[in-house]
A and B are shown apart, each in its own frame.
Chain A
Amino acid sequence: MTTPHLSDQEAQQLATTEALAPAAAVAHLHACAHCQAQVASYRVLFAGLATAPRPVFAFDPAALVGPQLSAARARFPWGASLGVALVLAFVGGCLAVFGAYIQQLVRGVPAGLYYVLLLPAAALVLGQGLDLLATHRRQLSILHFS
């Protein structure tokens, strides 16, 4: 009966450390020249990778980013807040001026039609909201590893 050679996975593990490898694999390695060559080639590869030159930026990242930090600091979104306030004021003004007309328009509408319009709209808003929440949670979990 012939002992099967080490798999590539076992050879890689043995090239890293023999301590965590199964005893049978270590025993086979010590007895098999073919597998010793396999493990040796991985050791050569790993040592070569460890001693390979590391990439270095041709610029100084700290000097590059430094001048932009004050601009990048999170500030209160005054522009967006003003936009929201203007939109709310416009909608409020419209309701104040045309409120009576709108009430007259919807007075004669049957109740069933409300449900036909409102239920899909509510479902749509709910779906979008849940999707936004899921995206937000996913992004936060990516950033915080939680």
Chain B
Amino acid sequence: MSRPPTPSSTDQQLVERVLWGEQAAFTEIVKQTEGLVAQLVFKMIRQPADRQDLTQDVYLKVFKSLPGFKFQAKLATWVGHIAYNTCCHYLEKKQLVLVDLGSEERDDEAARRLPRVATPAGNETERLLFSQELTAILGAELEKLPPLYRTLVSLYHQEELSYAEIAQITALPEGTVKNYLFRARKRLKENLLVHYQRDEL
């Protein structure tokens, strides 16, 4: 397993300032990690009404656990991990499934039975890509994925985190992260192709 990324000196300074009782430093931590926490909360929790309470819970946990932070990872990754765990506990409590491997196998089987669809090439593809239509379809297809897959795809492709960082956040082995990401992308691509094929018909 690769070494976790070393924390920046800013992380240390920020944490020290918070521990000295400077509330503005904690606000800075919130501002720095807000995007990542939003990705995790939005991708894992479907109920908008619960997101605010969960986010509050995440940052209060971060604040309480900050004295125990050992700087063995980036502060943002550590906050992300707390957010991920909080969302997992929420899903467990609500008895919701993080990743339904059974449905995935069914989808894979269905995808195998589908004929291949030629992807529009070159400029045509790029034109489609940046159209609002594709963005909307992609968003809708992303929503159909299980929460864990949605989360992994967003962390990798939108937050541009490395496999190692995603593994730290989710506490999954790096190999599992790669494998889940592969399956999620494949499923997403198949679903997109199916969508375009249906439209063409």
User: Which A positions have Cβ atoms within 8 angstroms of B?
Assistant: 8-9, 12, 36-38, 40-42, 44-57, 59, 61-62, 64-66, 68-69, 72-74, 140, 142-146
Report yes or no: A40 in contact with B35, Cβ–Cβ below 8 A. Answer: no
User: Which B positions have Cβ atoms within 8 angstroms of A?
Assistant: 4, 23, 26-27, 30-31, 34-35, 37-39, 41-43, 51-52, 55-56, 59-60, 63-65, 67-70, 72-73, 77-78, 81-82, 85, 118-119, 121, 125-126, 128-130, 134-135, 138-139, 142, 153-154, 157-158, 168, 171, 182, 185-186, 188-189, 192-193
Report yes or no: B153 in contact with A55, Cβ–Cβ below 8 A. Answer: no
A46 to chain B, nearest CB (A): 6
Given A40-B125, A61-B34, CB of A142 within 8 Å of CB of B39: no
A55, A64, A69: which contacts B42 (Cβ < 8 A)?
Answer: A55
Contacting residues, chain B, for A8 (C-beta < 8 A):
182, 186
Inter-chain residue pair count (beta carbon < 8 A):
133
Contacting residues, chain A, for B30 (C-beta < 8 A):
61-62, 65
Complex alpha-carbon distance, A72 and B189, angstroms: 45
Complex alpha-carbon distance, A57 and B42, angstroms: 9
Which of chain B's residues has its CB closest to A71's CB?
B60
Report yes or no: B59 in contact with A40, Cβ–Cβ below 8 A. Answer: no
Contacting residues, chain A, for B56 (C-beta < 8 A):
61, 64-65, 68
